[in-house]
Structures are given as structure tokens and as C-alpha cells.
């Protein structure tokens, strides 16, 4: 069986592949080191360029299965891609632990006033009286109770939080006090102290955190986005933050990345900006390769694959 592997991890993977596997390597620009005409499997890597993807698709007319290490595949599932009728699997779950830890860090940073305390330290000021809070008994709404959302919930529950979640197919989940449908979370905004966006970017979720949603949130509420920047109407968010409609926001992802230097988000005192790094961890690579190898074994044995993406909905 012939497969296409990213040059970044090909050597590591080849040591674990069956002897009858023929590997064609591809670099970040889409250049292949061999004939991929009869390749069945393509494992892409992070930061996949559209030109690289299209180059591989054109070079491999018999391709049947594509595994992407990302959880979000909005940059992959284009009309041209859908025409190929490939099986697409993603890396849902490989980033869940570091992202969940980052969400806890954002909430603790806000609740414990860590940015202001650090500022006081740099100014050599010993000042008490900051409005330091607890997470105990606070309400967390997780929009997107998938793998990442569930990892967030398990950690937040350890702090004694009340946790609501939403998902396309609602069902009772461990650590959640309530799980509603994907269109039923807005009535919960008025109860939430923290709102975490953990839903994939699709046509339905693009721009869904708009001015109306922000008005429904508590003035004391804190918004956290670890999903995709385009899910949030950034102009509406800036206005809500400036006008005090919500207390603040932690943004690991924004509409335009890198965030332009002239963006007002940089200067707002109630915003915590991080450079799309919440999923970073030395263990992500290990989990990504293990997931692909497990799925490759399943593929060879004609068993159901893990993490198959419904391309009609985008995740």
C-alpha cells in the first residue's frame, strides 16, 4: 500500500509501518519525492497550505483517505475538496488537554486578578483591596461540548463550578450539570459567569457570537475563545468590551492572525491576548502520530476509523 506522509514526521512514522507500505514524502510546498499516482492514504501536517493540499490531490487521483492532525478542518473542506469524496479524519482530542489547562488558566487569571497583581509587582507597589474572586459555585457555559469541551468540564468541575454545555446532539455527559442542543444555549447566557467558545468553525457558527449574544451575557461575564476567531463578530466584541457590556475576554484566536498591531484588542485593559498557543504541548505530536497509526491499522483491516469528519457540517 502506498501512502503520502509529511516530510516533518515521515521518518518517525516509517519505523512503525508494515513492511509492505510504500511511502511518498511531501514537503510543506507540496513537492513529492516520488510517484503518488496510486497512493490511497494521505497524512497531512499542521499549517497545511491550500496550495500544498491541492498539489497532493492532483498528484494522487486514487486517494481514498486523508487524515489531518487538526481538530478544525474548515481550511480543508472546500467545494473542490468535497468533490473528491474522500474519507476525512481529523485530530480531535490531541489538543484537548493543553487547551483545557489554558482555559483554567484564563479563568484563574481573571478571578485572581493576576495581571493587575503582576503589574503592581513591576511597579513595586504593595496594594491590597483588589476584587479577587473564587471559581467555586461560578457558572461556566461551554459552547461546544465535544472532546475539548469535556476536558475543560472535567477540570472546571474540580474547582466546584456549575457547568452547562451545548452540542449538536445533546446528551448527558460527565461533569456537566446541563447539556442542551446547538441552538439552545442563548437562554443560558444570563446565568453564565464564564463563556467558553469550543465549537468548530462552520457556516452555522461563523459570526455567531454577535452583538445580540454579547448583550445577553452578564456585565460581569468573561468570554474565552479557544476555537476560531471568525466565530466572533470582532467589531461587536470590541464595542462590548469598551462599553462594559461584558467584563472581559481571553482570546487565543482572532479573526486575522497574527493580530494586526493596530487592532484595538491589544490595548483594551480587560482583554488577555495569547498567540493561538493554547493547544501547544510537546505531547501533541506524540498523540497525533499515535492516532494516525491506530487509524492506519484500522484502515488496512477495513475497520471503522476514528474521528471521521462529516464534511457537510464541517466536523
Q: Where is 272: in which H helix or E strand?
A: strand 271-273
Sign of CA dihedral 244, 206, 197, 80: negative
Q: Which residues contact 292 (CB under 8 A, 6 or more apart)?
A: 13, 43, 67, 69
Can you read off the three cell numbers belonging to residue 94? 490531541
Taking 3-state DSSP, the helix, strand and coil percentages for the chain, each rounded to the nearest 5, stand at 35, 15, 50
Q: φ and ψ at 101, to 5 degrees?
A: -65, -40
Active site residue 276: yes
Strand 87-89 vs strand 65-67: parallel, antiparallel, or unpaired? parallel
Closest C-alpha to 241, from 279, 262, 272:
272
Sign of CA dihedral 66, 68, 71, 77: negative
Helix (H, G, I), strand (E, B) or coil at 103: helix
Rounded-to-integer distance, Cα 59 and Cα 53, Å:
10
Q: Which of 66, 67, 228, 245 is catalytic?
A: 228
DSSP state of 190: G
Closest C-alpha to 192, from 204, 209, 207:
209
Q: Which of 58, 191, 242, 257 is catalytic?
A: 257
Active site residue 12: no
Q: Which of 75, 276, 300, 306 is catalytic?
A: 276
Residues taking part in catalysis:
228, 257, 276
Amino acid at each position: 500500500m502506498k501512502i503520502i506522509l509529511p516530510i516533518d514526521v515521515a521518518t518517525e512514522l516509517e519505523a512503525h509501518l508494515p513492511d509492505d507500505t510504500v511511502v511518498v514524502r511531501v514537503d510543506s510546498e507540496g513537492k513529492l519525492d516520488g510517484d503518488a499516482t496510486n497512493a490511497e492514504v494521505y497524512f497531512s501536517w499542521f499549517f497545511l497550505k491550500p496550495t500544498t493540499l491541492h498539489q497532493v490531490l492532483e498528484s494522487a487521483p486514487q486517494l481514498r483517505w486523508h487524515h489531518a492532525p487538526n481538530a478544525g478542518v474548515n481550511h480543508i473542506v472546500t467545494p473542490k475538496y468535497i468533490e473528491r469524496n474522500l474519507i476525512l479524519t481529523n485530530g480531535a482530542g490531541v489538543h484537548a488537554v493543553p487547551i483545557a489547562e489554558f482555559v483554567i488558566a484564563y479563568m484563574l487569571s481573571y478571578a485572581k486578578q493576576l495581571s493587575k497583581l503582576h503589574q503592581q509587582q513591576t511597579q513595586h507597589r504593595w496594594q491590597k483591596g483588589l476584587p479577587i474572586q473564587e471559581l467555586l459555585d461560578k457558572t461556566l457555559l461551554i459552547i461546544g461540548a465535544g472532546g475539548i469541551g469535556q476536558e475543560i468540564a472535567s477540570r472546571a468541575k474540580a474547582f466546584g463550578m456549575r457547568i452547562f454545555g451545548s452540542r449538536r446532539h445533546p446528551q448527558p455527559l460527565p461533569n456537566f450539570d446541563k447539556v442542551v442542543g446547538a441552538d439552545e444555549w442563548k437562554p443560558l447566557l444570563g446565568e453564565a459567569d464564564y463563556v467558553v467558545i469550543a465549537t468548530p468553525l462552520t457556516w452555522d457558527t461563523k459570526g455567531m457570537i454577535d452583538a445580540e449574544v454579547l448583550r445577553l451575557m452578564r456585565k460581569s461575564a468573561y468570554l474565552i475563545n479557544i476555537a476560531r476567531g471568525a466565530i466572533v463578530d470582532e467589531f461587536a466584541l470590541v464595542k462590548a468590551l469598551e462599553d462594559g457590556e461584558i467584563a472581559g475576554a481571553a482570546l487565543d484566536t482572532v479573526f486575522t492572525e497574527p493580530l494586526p498591531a493596530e487592532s484595538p484588542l491589544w490595548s483594551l485593559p480587560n482583554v488577555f491576548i495569547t498567540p493561538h498557543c493554547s493547544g501547544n504541548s510537546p505531547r501533541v505530536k506524540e498523540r497525533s502520530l499515535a492516532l494516525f497509526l491506530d487509524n492506519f491499522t484500522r484502515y488496512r483491516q477495513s475497520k471503522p476509523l476514528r474521528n471521521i469528519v462529516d464534511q457537510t457540517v464541517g466536523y
